[in-house]
Amino acid sequence: MSLAKELYLEAKEIVFDHFRTPTFWKVIFWAILAIGSFSIVYRFAFGLGASTNLSDEFPWGLWIGFDVMTGVGLAAGGFTISGLTYIFNIKKFRPIVKPAILTAMLGYILVVVGLLVDLGRPWYIWHMIIYWNIHSPLFEVGTCVLLYNIVLILEFSPVVFKKLRWSKAFHAVKKITMPLVILGVILSTLHQSSLGSLFLPVFTQMHPFWYSPLLPVLFYLSAVMTAFAMVTVESNIAARALRKQVEIGVLAVIARILVVLMALFGVIRLIDLYHQGILPQIFQANEASLYFWIEYSFMIIIPLILLTSEKRRWNNTILFYAAASTVIGFTIHRLNVAVTARTLINGDLYSPSFMELMTSVFIVAVGMAAYGFISKYFDLHDESGFTTELEEINVPKGGNSPQIQMAKK
């Protein structure tokens, strides 16, 4: 059997296996795909005005706050884990590097998809490449996201080349692994912080609880912090879905790092409010304080309580719920900055339309399905293949395998 046919049959088996045993969640998934696809088609057919509750007064809503601002932050695990593993040579993180890079790659691709849906004229997005506005933080964000997508694809490509047994391509990427990781860390640091810079010019239109000159620092720190939480959540979900054992030793180390970062972020957040002279206002009984405490509780207080004990950090159930709480709190934080801060200060009435909601849910569902398929197809969670050292594949360095020769014929 040729290699091409072998790979096709393997992919076909994974896809068909999804349809063989219908379950409640599979039915929900296909319903989301159907409604989400209709919503996206409707949006491009009839425009933003007909499909969303956005307006000239409120141009940034759920799609920017969740699909872009939150999505970019949740995909930060790619540069944090690969940076720690390759640059700092922390070998303990090797089992989770490839899944983290896959999560980041899919996350950034879906961020671009969400941005295309949100743009009024998405067919002009390529103008950014030619017409440079070097004074705009948005230009930096767009450029870095574009370049980082390329970096992530290259970082993940050895997994594909190994599957295809493409020896020359495999070894070529192997030689530039370290430069790619360093470039990825630089690009991520630039645009993760610059996302916060986007809100600096509109300080008069934001509630002071979520505006600060430190927004670039807070955005970067919260992204790095949530990266470790997201890796923990992803590892648990993948292990359950693929019936693999969770790397509890690795996740326990991640939990220690997470505790330090959460404490640091929480303290900086309170010091910043104190410096602005509004710290006492968070204890007032009003809507803004309610949003703040919901965010702060999920993002900082609950996870810290769960993870301060070394014994609890070795309990996978507690690890999962603590990490999930951090991810939820981070999502609320980004939505508060992008949406809530504006509605509270200006009194603008905005709530996402049904199509906005379903489009965002659709993007998340597609990302999860793609992760599940790629994980199975490329055996990312196979214990025997848990390594980020681009191990030698069983193909002579100077040539192709017989299977590839047959496939070419």
What confidence score (pLDDT) does residue 404 get? 35
pLDDT greater than 90 at residue 12: no
User: What string of DSSP letters covers 218-254?
Assistant: HHHHHHHHHHHHHHHHHHHHHHHHHT----HHHHHHH
E strand residue ranges, 136-262: none
Residue 392 has pLDDT above 50, yes or no: no
What share of the chain has pLDDT > 70, as a percent?
92
Span 97-115, average pLDDT: 94
pLDDT in tens, 292-350: 999 999 999 999 999 998 899 999 999 999 999 999 999 999 999 999 999 998 776 78
Of residues 393 and 196, more confidently modeled = 196
Whether this prediction's pTM lies above 0.75 is answered by yes
Structural domains counted in the chain: 1
Residue 400 is predicted with a pLDDT of: 43
Q: Is residue 323 in some structural domain?
A: yes
User: Does any domain span residue 297?
Assistant: yes
**Could you tell me the pLDDT band of residue 382, with boundaries at 50, 70 and 90?**
low
Mean pLDDT over 141-151 rounds to: 95
- Read off the pLDDT band of 381 (50, 70, 90): low
Distance CA 223, CA 195 (A): 11
Neighbours of 337 (CB within 10 A): 27
Asked if residue 34 belongs to a domain, the reply is no
Does residue 92 belong to any structural domain of this protein?
no
Question: Residue 268: which domain range?
Answer: 202-350
- Please state, in angstroms and rounded to a whole number, the distance separating the CA atoms of residues 229 and 23: 29
Among candidate residues 360, 348, 405, 314, the one with its CA nearest the CA of residue 114:
360
Between 385 and 120, the more confident residue is 120
Fill in the DSSP letter of residue 88.
S
Residue 26 is assigned to a structural domain of this protein: no
Residue 406 lies in a domain: no
Under 8 Å between Cβ of 371 and 156: no
| Residue 407 pLDDT exceeds 70 | no
267 found inside a domain: yes
Distance CA 326, CA 187 (A): 24
Confidence of residue 184 (pLDDT cuts 50, 70, 90): very high
5, part of any domain: no
